[in-house]
Amino acid sequence: MSPQPPARRLRSDSASRPLQKGQQTKAAIVDAALGLATQIGLEGLSIGALAEVMQMSKSGVFAHFGSREELQISVVREYHARFEDEVFYPAMAFGRGLPRLRAMFDNWMKRTSVEIDSGCIYISGAVQFEDRPGPVRDALAGSVNTWLSAMRRAIEMAVAEGHLHPGTDAAQMAFEIHALILALHYEARFLGSPDSLQRALTAFDGIVGRFSTAATPVPETPPPARSRKTTRVATQG
Q: Which residues of this protein are in contact with its own copies, per CB under 8 A? A: 1, 39, 119, 123-124, 126-131, 141, 144-145, 148, 167-169, 171-173, 175-176, 178-180, 182-183, 186-187, 189-192, 195-196, 199-200, 202-203, 206-207, 209-211, 236-237
Closest contact distance (angstroms) between CB of 155 and its own copies is 12
If the CB atoms of residues 92 and 114 are measured against its own copies, the closer one turns out to be: 114
If the CB atoms of residues 15 and 190 are measured against its own copies, the closer one turns out to be: 190
C-alpha gyration radius of the chain:
19
If the CB atoms of residues 81 and 200 are measured against its own copies, the closer one turns out to be: 200
Closest contact distance (angstroms) between CB of 224 and its own copies is 29
Closest contact distance (angstroms) between CB of 15 and its own copies is 32
Closest contact distance (angstroms) between CB of 125 and its own copies is 9
Residue 137, CA distances (Å) to 4, 147, 149, 173 in order: 12, 16, 18, 25
Handedness of CA 76, 176, 173, 118 (dihedral sign): positive
- CA neighbours closer than 13 Å in the CB half-sphere of residue 64: 25
Residues sharing a CB contact under 8 Å with residue 87, sequence separation 6 or more, in sequence order: 104, 107, 108, 111, 147
Asked if residues 118 and 38 have their Cβ atoms less than 8 Å apart, the reply is yes
Provide the 3-class DSSP secondary structure of residue 91. Answer: helix
Closest contact distance (angstroms) between CB of 192 and its own copies is 5
If the CB atoms of residues 162 and 206 are measured against its own copies, the closer one turns out to be: 206
If the CB atoms of residues 161 and 187 are measured against its own copies, the closer one turns out to be: 187
Residue 149, CA distances (Å) to 124, 132, 152, 157, 236 in order: 21, 24, 5, 12, 29
Q: What residues does 164 pair with on adjacent strands? A: 212
If the CB atoms of residues 30 and 140 are measured against its own copies, the closer one turns out to be: 140
Closest contact distance (angstroms) between CB of 46 and its own copies is 17
